Amino acid sequence: KLDADIAKAMMSIGAVKAVEIGAGILAPEMTGFENNDPLTPKGFASNHSGGILAGISNGDEIVARVHVKPIPSILKPQETLTDKGLPTIVSTKGRHDICAIPRINMVCESMLALVLTDHILRQKTIGENFGPIF
């Protein structure tokens, strides 16, 4: 399934804590009628499915949202335990990233490209001929 492979790839990125495809967490708030992606002569009327139906790309734009945890290296002292289980204070010194966003976008786009390329190559190996890959 394409959406499962996308989610797995995104979740393998260190700071990622959640992945949504299409309407994602908003889908349970909708009725079935609202969430459906009606097919019209010009294509799908909406893209609540995120471009994937039944695990297969439907030709619409693939929409995946990735949720990333905050950077844990902060300058504020924090309580922790030593290797012997004793309470202590840890403090990070020096300059560290304050935000993962500038890098995480490129990493996620690259992971998505790898998943899509893998799925294209799978189709090629089972005999589906969709013409040239590029």
Judge whether 92 lies within some domain: no
The crossing angle, in degrees rounded to 10, of helices 101-125 and 2-11 is 140
Establish if 84 belongs to a structural domain.
Answer: no
- Cβ(19)–Cβ(11) below 8 Å: yes
pLDDT tens-place string over residues 12-65 = 998 999 999 999 999 999 999 999 999 999 989 999 999 999 999 999 999 999
Does 9 map to a domain? Answer: yes
- For residue 95, being part of any structural domain is answered with no
Instruction: Look at residue 23 and tell me if it is in a domain.
Output: yes
What percentage of the chain exceeds 70 in pLDDT?
A: 92
Decide if pLDDT at 131 tops 80.
Answer: no
Specify if 93 maps to a domain. no
Q: Is residue 76 part of a domain?
A: no
Q: Are the beta carbons of 57 and 2 closer than 8 angstroms?
A: yes
In a domain, 90, yes or no: no
Number of separate domains in the chain:
1
What contacts 24+ positions apart, CB below 8 Å, involve 46-49? Answer: 47/22, 48/22, 48/23, 49/21, 49/22, 49/23
- 134: helix, strand or coil: coil
Neighbours of 15 (CB within 10 A): 15
pTM reported for the whole predicted model: 0.81
> What pLDDT band is residue 126 in, cutting at 50, 70 and 90?
confident
Domain that holds residue 46: 2-70+101-125
